[in-house]
Chains A and B, each alone.
Chain A
């Protein structure tokens, strides 16, 4: 895979924002992670964002990320099907992780803009990415900038500058903001230059993009695929004893269940119910965990959601 150019092979389709299973000591449970990726692959979903937003990327060190990466690649996950989250303001750490993952064959990276003690000006953000690109020193890789919303966003002026100066490497903007207008503004500004990739499933329903990164796809990958491919009516989901549900409705139902809870912790709890493995419910501090009442309420709602294995 190492010699294949990916210049014209940008992210496409459903990329799963993979949740990270943890051991009771909050270290990554690599065996369980691999089992999850294997199950998703067996269902036909083989494209993964590792250590992104849902993967609690900011909570793990370079060594932990590289160890997990080494394990999943050695067990058969194609490096070309991995987009690795890079979440650090220390430029040397970011460069080291990109270079070491690249050596393993990974060529797609989802990089969050830096954060600092005081708000950063446009020029500082641009400098960070310029310096990152220079230090990485590779020609054949893809940079996706991860907009987390609000003050953590890279300003449009910086994104535009990077579009002009690094159009071959800067391939896309991944928008984590929940507001559809935020994504639409990015589309208006950058359509035709770089990909704008939504992550909030309700927005995916509205925007109908060709590419999406989804945390819900950990649980209902087929539903996301149908929404992306616009197969609404023909792919209705039949649930015993209930009316036929459209993929759009299933997303809305799941969204409603999770709406008042931190999305990563809530989705992990639902996955723990799906696999019937309580360990999946663990989140690493500082990620907020769910209280007992919240857990009880979510589990009850999830039972009513009535997930079918083919979703």
Chain B
């Protein structure tokens, strides 16, 4: 597979971010963790957005004991 025009969703210093192949190639081997690769910037951003929404939903779930059924 050719990755030259693709985009990477990575975890970098505790943050999730989207980087181009060019930026990705400049990162040190142990500087990041690869989450997913995408053919387009749009797809990478959409996935990034989806994961953020899921994290927000998870956080809400944890913060809302009534909804999670821990307090009745």
Can you list 21 contacts pairing A with B, beta carbon distance less than 8 Å?
A35-B36, A37-B1, A38-B37, A41-B1, A41-B3, A42-B3, A42-B34, A42-B36, A42-B37, A43-B34, A46-B1, A75-B1, A76-B1, A76-B2, A77-B1, A78-B1, A276-B50, A276-B54, A308-B33, A309-B34, A310-B34
Provide the residues of chain A in CB contact with B37, threshold 8 Å. 38-39, 41-42
Provide the residues of chain A in CB contact with B33, threshold 8 Å. 308-310
Tell me which residues from 12 to 49 in chain A have a Cβ below 8 Å from any Cβ of chain B.
35, 37-39, 41-43, 46
Task: Verify if B39 is at the interface (C-beta below 8 Å from A).
Answer: yes
Complex Cα gap A46–B1 (Å):
8
Provide the residues of chain B in CB contact with A39, threshold 8 Å. 36-37
Given known contacts A41-B37, A43-B34, A76-B2, what 11 new A-B pairs fall within 8 Å (CB)? A35-B38, A38-B6, A41-B3, A42-B1, A42-B3, A42-B6, A42-B34, A42-B36, A76-B1, A309-B11, A310-B34
Provide the residues of chain A in CB contact with B3, threshold 8 Å. 41-42
Task: Verify if B56 is at the interface (C-beta below 8 Å from A).
Answer: no
Are A42 and B54 neighbours in the complex by a CB distance under 8 Å? Answer: no
CB within 8 Å for A42 and B39 given contacts A308-B33, A310-B33: no
Which of A42, A75, A276 is the one whose CB lies under 8 Å from B8? Answer: A42
Are A276 and B51 neighbours in the complex by a CB distance under 8 Å? Answer: yes
Closest 9 pairs between A and B when the two form their complex, measured CB to CB: A42-B37, A309-B33, A76-B1, A41-B1, A39-B36, A310-B33, A38-B37, A309-B35, A276-B54
A-B contact count (CB 8 A): 39
Closest A residue, CB atoms, query B21:
A42
Q: A residues touching B (Cβ–Cβ < 8 Å)?
A: 35, 37-39, 41-43, 46, 75-78, 275-276, 308-310
Complex Cα gap A76–B51 (Å):
26
Chain B 28-44, CB within 8 Å of chain A: the 1/0 string? 00000111111100000
Closest B residue, CB atoms, query A81:
B1
Complex Cα gap A179–B54 (Å):
41
Provide the residues of chain B in CB contact with A38, threshold 8 Å. 1, 6, 37-39
Tell me which residues from 8 to 64 in chain B have a Cβ below 8 Å from any Cβ of chain A.
8, 11, 33-39, 50-51, 54
Provide the residues of chain B in CB contact with A309, threshold 8 Å. 11, 33-35
Residue from B1, B6, B34, B38 having most chain A Cβ neighbours under 10 A: B1
Closest CB-CB distance, B41 to chain A, in whole Å? 15
Provide the residues of chain A in CB contact with B2, threshold 8 Å. 76
Closest CB-CB distance, B24 to chain A, in whole Å? 9
Provide the residues of chain A in CB contact with B1, threshold 8 Å. 37-38, 41-42, 46, 75-78
Closest CB-CB distance, A90 to chain B, in whole Å? 34
Provide the residues of chain A in CB contact with B11, threshold 8 Å. 309
Closest B residue, CB atoms, query A309:
B33
Complex Cα gap A76–B5 (Å):
13
Complex Cα gap A131–B8 (Å):
48
Provide the residues of chain A in CB contact with B51, threshold 8 Å. 276
Complex Cα gap A77–B33 (Å):
23
Provide the residues of chain A in CB contact with B38, threshold 8 Å. 35, 38
